[in-house]
């Protein structure tokens, strides 16, 4: 089998961030949009893909693709090997104890739905509570509401301050009801950028015997996550936000919990023996991977993790933090611009409103300048309701963004300001 292609950015030393070389790894960044260079600041929605990932997926399809875990032929063996190697990469990336604890899904959304359906169906009865926070993405709200409808359980919501920080006393008070069966918490808010003190939140729940699911969709691309150090029970994320392809997600779960849980879906590849009377299920992790998965996508995620790890998440975090500080200072000068989410610990995104200009108008005008941002409710409508706004504009950063691009964003925002003055 061909070794996964390794990009030039892999050789970037942790101490010296060579942005030009990193950017050269992303073919899409060479494009012009409306005659302007593309400034891609919609990374929290989905990040662009480095050449290493694109080539790995292409090589999979052109050199060794077949269905996995089934064939006795060479192509199937090669695909299976590459797929399971990617699982080991994810295990290593999260520092999970075993590959049995790494389940591939379609997305962070599906990972959370898996837990809500399987663990939720097993552990909840009428009157039990699920504790979430007020800053959750819809993916960590709606699956629990569906569970509540099925079981009669009740959804509880921990509030946060105007700055976007969880109120710990309120969180503890809600944990103390004696009825909470699971806390499901976002690690980094996609609407505010808040980095929650997740280790403390997990410890507080565990002190009361409550397991914790962490929605890490916005966290894994920006900071190192060690599931054993966190001691979380479940951790969910999507490949497409961490430089991998879309259509792949990860669910980490503690082995004992996953073993106790019933399958989420039934079908091929998740069984040991099937008769019309009864089915015996496969061991972990296959028990939760029914049907043919996104084989090339999973292998592509493995390449993305190699690429990112070679740069180093400490380097990524330092660079993105610098961009965040610079952006915050620059856009705060614009009269009428209000940043939503000013937590002390913030990841690399800035959500804002500008008086007189609807966020969608801001997004459209910026697009004409070649700048891609997201405008809307960011699938976090309760956060918008918390601040009494229908939507915000949001610029979010990745490792390849530059101060230059922030300058372009700021100049364009001044233009918007003048236009709507
Ligand atoms: N947030 C954003 O623009 P999926 O769609 O399953 O890959 O990820 C869902 C998800 C879950 N949790 C958080 C905190 C998220 O930010 C997201 C996706 C994107 O903010 C798309 S709405």
Q: pLDDT per position in the chain (421 positions), as tens?
A: 333 333 334 333 434 589 999 999 999 999 999 999 999 999 999 999 999 999 999 999 999 999 999 889 999 999 999 999 999 999 999 999 999 999 999 999 999 999 999 999 999 999 999 999 999 999 999 999 999 999 999 999 999 999 999 999 999 999 999 999 999 999 999 999 999 999 999 999 999 999 999 999 999 999 999 999 999 999 999 999 999 999 999 999 999 999 999 999 999 999 999 999 999 999 999 999 999 999 999 999 999 999 999 999 999 999 999 999 999 999 999 999 999 999 999 999 999 999 999 999 999 999 999 999 999 999 999 999 999 999 999 999 999 999 999 999 999 999 999 999 8
Q: Distance from the CA of 72 to the center of ligand 1, in angstroms?
A: 38
Q: Are 285 and 101 in contact (CB under 8 A)?
A: yes
137, 142, 372, 373, best to mutate for ligand 1 pocket (most atoms within 8 Å of CB) = 137
Q: What is the dihedral of CA 171, 377, 48, 410, to 10 degrees?
A: -100
pLDDT at 71: 82
Atom of ligand 1 nearest to the CA of 111: 6
Distance CA(414)–CA(2), nearest Å, equals 50
Q: Are 228 and 198 in contact (CB under 8 A)?
A: no
Contacts of 259 (CB under 8 A, 6+ apart): 284
Q: Distance from the CA of 290 to the center of ligand 1, in angstroms?
A: 23
105, 113, 186, 218, best to mutate for ligand 1 pocket (most atoms within 8 Å of CB) = 218
Q: Distance from the CA of 137 to the center of ligand 1, in angstroms?
A: 7
Closest CA to 207 of 188, 234, 180, 170: 180
Strands 271-274 and 36-37, bridge-based pairing: unpaired
| Ligand 1 pocket member 215 (CB < 6 A) | yes
Query: Can you say whether residue 200 is alpha, beta or left, with left for phi > 0 and alpha for psi between -120 and 50 degrees?
Result: alpha
Note the pTM of the prediction, 2 decimals.
0.96
Cα 211 to the center of its chain, rounded Å: 20
Q: Are 129 and 180 in contact (CB under 8 A)?
A: yes
pLDDT at 4: 36
Kindly report whether the peptide bond that precedes residue 285 is cis, defined as omega within 30 degrees of 0. Answer: yes
Contacts of 46 (CB under 8 A, 6+ apart): 240, 241, 246
Closest CA to 133 of 67, 72, 201: 201
Atom of ligand 1 nearest to the CA of 374: 3
CA distances from 353 to 106, 370, 392 (A): 33, 20, 5
Q: Which segments of the chain belong to CATH 3.40.640.10?
A: 56-309
Catalytic positions, written as ranges: 379
The residue whose C-alpha atom lies closest to atom 8 belonging to ligand 1 is 108
The residue whose C-alpha atom lies closest to atom 21 belonging to ligand 1 is 45
Q: Which segments of the chain belong to CATH 3.90.1150.10?
A: 14-46+312-413
Q: What is the CATH number of domain 14-46+312-413?
A: 3.90.1150.10
The residue whose C-alpha atom lies closest to atom 3 belonging to ligand 1 is 45
Q: Distance from the CA of 378 to the center of ligand 1, in angstroms?
A: 8
The residue whose C-alpha atom lies closest to atom 18 belonging to ligand 1 is 45
| Ligand 1 pocket member 379 (CB < 6 A) | yes
Lookup: tokens for 387: 């601040």
| Ligand 1 pocket member 220 (CB < 6 A) | no
- Other C-beta atoms closer than 10 Å to the C-beta of 121 total 14
Distance CA(289)–CA(258), nearest Å, equals 12
Axis crossing angle, helix 51-59 with helix 295-311, rounded to the nearest 10? 150
Query: At residue 45, what are phi and psi to the nearest 5 degrees?
Result: -75, -50
The residue whose C-alpha atom lies closest to atom 2 belonging to ligand 1 is 45
**Topology (CATH) of 56-309:** 3.40.640
């Amino acid at each position: 089998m061909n070794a996964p292609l390794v990009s030039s950015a892999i050789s970037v030393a942790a101490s010296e961030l060579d942005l030009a070389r990193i950017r050269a790894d992303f073919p899409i960044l060479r494009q012009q949009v409306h005659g302007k260079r593309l400034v891609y600041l919609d990374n929290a929605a989905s990040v662009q893909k480095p050449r290493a990932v694109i080539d790995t997926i292409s090589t999979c399809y052109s050199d060794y693709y077949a269905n996995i875990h089934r064939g006795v032929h060479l192509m199937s063996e090669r695909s299976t090997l590459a797929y399971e190697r990617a699982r080991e990469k994810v295990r290593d990336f999260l520092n999970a104890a075993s590959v049995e604890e790494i389940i591939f899904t379609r997305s962070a959304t599906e990972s959370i739905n898996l837990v809500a359906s399987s663990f939720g169906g097993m552990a909840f009865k009428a009157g039990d509570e699920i504790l979430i926070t007020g800053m959750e993405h819809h993916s960590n709200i709606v699956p629990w509401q569906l569970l509540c409808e099925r079981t009669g359980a009740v959804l509880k919501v921990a509030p946060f301050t105007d700055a976007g920080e969880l109120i710990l006393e309120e969180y503890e008070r809600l944990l103390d009801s004696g009825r909470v069966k699971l806390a499901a918490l976002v690690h980094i808010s996609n609407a505010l950028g808040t980095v929650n003190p997740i280790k403390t939140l997990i410890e507080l729940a565990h002190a009361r015997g409550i397991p914790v699911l962490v929605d890490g969709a916005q966290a894994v691309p920006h900071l190192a996550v060690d599931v054993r150090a966190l001691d979380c029970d479940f951790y969910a994320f999507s490949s497409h936000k961490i430089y991998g392809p879309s259509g792949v997600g990860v669910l980490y779960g503690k082995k004992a919990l996953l073993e106790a849980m019933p399958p989420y879906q039934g079908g091929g590849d998740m069984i040991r023996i099937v008769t019309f009377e009864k089915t015996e299920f496969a061991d972990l992790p296959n028990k939760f991977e029914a049907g043919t998965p996104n084989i090339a996508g999973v292998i592509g995620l493995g390449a993305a993790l190699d690429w990112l790890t070679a740069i180093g998440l400490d380097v990524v975090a330092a660079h993105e933090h610098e961009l965040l500080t610079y952006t915050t200072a620059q856009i705060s000068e614009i009269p009428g611009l209000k940043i939503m989410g000013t937590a002390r610990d913030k990841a690399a995104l800035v959500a804002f409103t500008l008086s007189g200009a609807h966020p969608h108008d801001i997004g459209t005008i910026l697009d004409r300048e070649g700048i891609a941002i997201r405008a809307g409710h960011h699938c976090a409508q309760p956060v918008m309701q918390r601040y009494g706004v229908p939507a915000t504009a949001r610029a979010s950063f990745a490792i390849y963004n530059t101060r230059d691009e922030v300058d372009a964003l700021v100049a364009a925002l001044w233009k918007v300001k003048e236009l709507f003055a």
